[in-house]
Amino acid sequence: MVTVSNDTLNGSSMQNSQIEPDGERPDDLINDSDYRSSERTDRSAESGFAATPSGNPEREFSTSLGREAADSLPASTESLRSTESSLGQSAANEKAVEGQFYTLDLRSIKAERLGNAIFTCLLLLGALVWVAIRWWTEGVDLFFQILAGASLILVTAFAVFSWIWPKKEFQYTQWRATNAGLEIHKGVIWRHRIIVPMSRVQHADVTQGPIQRLFGLGTLVVHTAGTSNASVDLAGIDHQAAIEVRDMIIRFRSGRQERHA
């Protein structure tokens, strides 16, 4: 059990830990027991939204996420933080880290895998149908054997890939919503970090696909007036959390407008 508070996120603790990005991950922490806890709400209210404009973080980012959930936050989150800081060492001490980063919901790995499994099955089915037709019409020749072997290997490779990839994505994705804006880090090979300042959000939606619904997940989509990043989405977080973040963004905007009026 690890309690993550603001302290662990501040520069001092971050600089000292230098774990290479591709180094050891506590994979054992991402185990089945984690998946099963459907009440898991690691996006707890501890500090992430402490800076909401109307000031009361506990009330602002409330209830459905459960406060005790902070205890169940996987240690991997912490190691992610440390990992990130190894990138921007020089910047780490000057940077004012004001909000806590969250990982995706652990259930998102399972949801992704389910989606990928369905796709793999369809792929396999297609390959099988093709093989059957080819066998029926042309019989077995060398060309057939090569193609059948290749498609088998491809499907297997895809299956393996689609099993590993969601976990990789999970490991490299983190986000936070502070009064500075919504910040998302993602990408396994090509890494991206994006910040959408709160005042630039035009509107925000929460969407939920069928598989996501099965796992209680959602996608937060934030729209800006920009061109190349006109909408920024964050898929695979707890549905309730997505709704809370959306509401928080809306509150932020309306609060701001009142002040400017």
Partner 1 sequence: MNPEIPLGGDKLPDLEAVPPDAAPIHPTWLHPSSLVFDLLSHFRQLLVPVGLAIFSAANGHATGMFIAFAFMVPAVLRSVFQYFTLRYMIDGGELVIRKGFLFRSLRTIPVNRIQNVDLVQNLLHRLLRVAEVRVETASGKETEARLRVLSIRQVEALRREIFREQEVLGKNTRDIVESESAPTEAVSNLASVDAQAGQTLLTIPMERLIRAGLASDRGMLLIGVVAGLYWQLDLENQFDLRGLLDFIPKFDGSVLNTLIWAVAIIGILLLLRIVGVFWYLLRFHGYRLSRYGEDLRVSCGLFTRVSATIPRKRIQFISIHRTLLMRWMGLAAIRIETAGSGGGQAENASSTVSRRWFVPVIPEEMLPGILAELRTELELNEQQLDWKPLAANALSRMVRKAVVFSILFGVAGYLANHTWGWIAGVVALPLLVWWARKKSKAMRYCRTEDKLVYRSGVLHRKTSMTFFDKVQTARFNQSPFDRRWKQARLVVDTAAAGPAEHVISIPYLDAGFADLEFQNISAIATTMQPDFG
Question: Which residues make up the interface to partner 1 (CB under 8 A)?
Answer: 21, 87-91, 94-96, 179-181, 183, 187, 189-200, 202, 224-229, 232, 256, 260
Q: Are 16 and 86 in contact (CB under 8 A)?
A: no
Separation between Cα atoms, residue 229 and residue 82, nearest integer Å = 28
Residue 44 or 47: which CB sits closer to partner 1?
47
Residue 36 or 192: which CB sits closer to partner 1?
192
Residue 34 or 98: which CB sits closer to partner 1?
98
Nearest to 40 by CA among 88, 78, 14, 73: 73
Q: Are 200 and 224 in contact (CB under 8 A)?
A: yes
110's enclosing H/E stretch is helix 107-138
Residue 136 or 190: which CB sits closer to partner 1?
190
Radius of gyration, alpha carbons of the chain: 22
Residue 36 or 95: which CB sits closer to partner 1?
95
Which 3 state secondary structure label does DSSP give 168?
Answer: helix
Q: What angle do CA 101, 103, 105 make, to 5 degrees?
A: 140
Separation between Cα atoms, residue 149 and residue 130, nearest integer Å = 13
Chain centroid, CA 76 distance in Å? 13
14's enclosing H/E stretch is helix 11-16
Residue 92 or 243: which CB sits closer to partner 1?
92
Q: Are 198 and 186 in contact (CB under 8 A)?
A: no
Residue 41 or 85: which CB sits closer to partner 1?
85
Residue 176 CA: distances (Å) to CA of 78, 104, 110 = 14, 10, 22
Task: Give least dist CB 190 to partner 1, A.
Answer: 5
Nearest to 65 by CA among 46, 48, 47, 43: 43
Helix axes 142-172, 107-138, angle to 10 degrees: 170
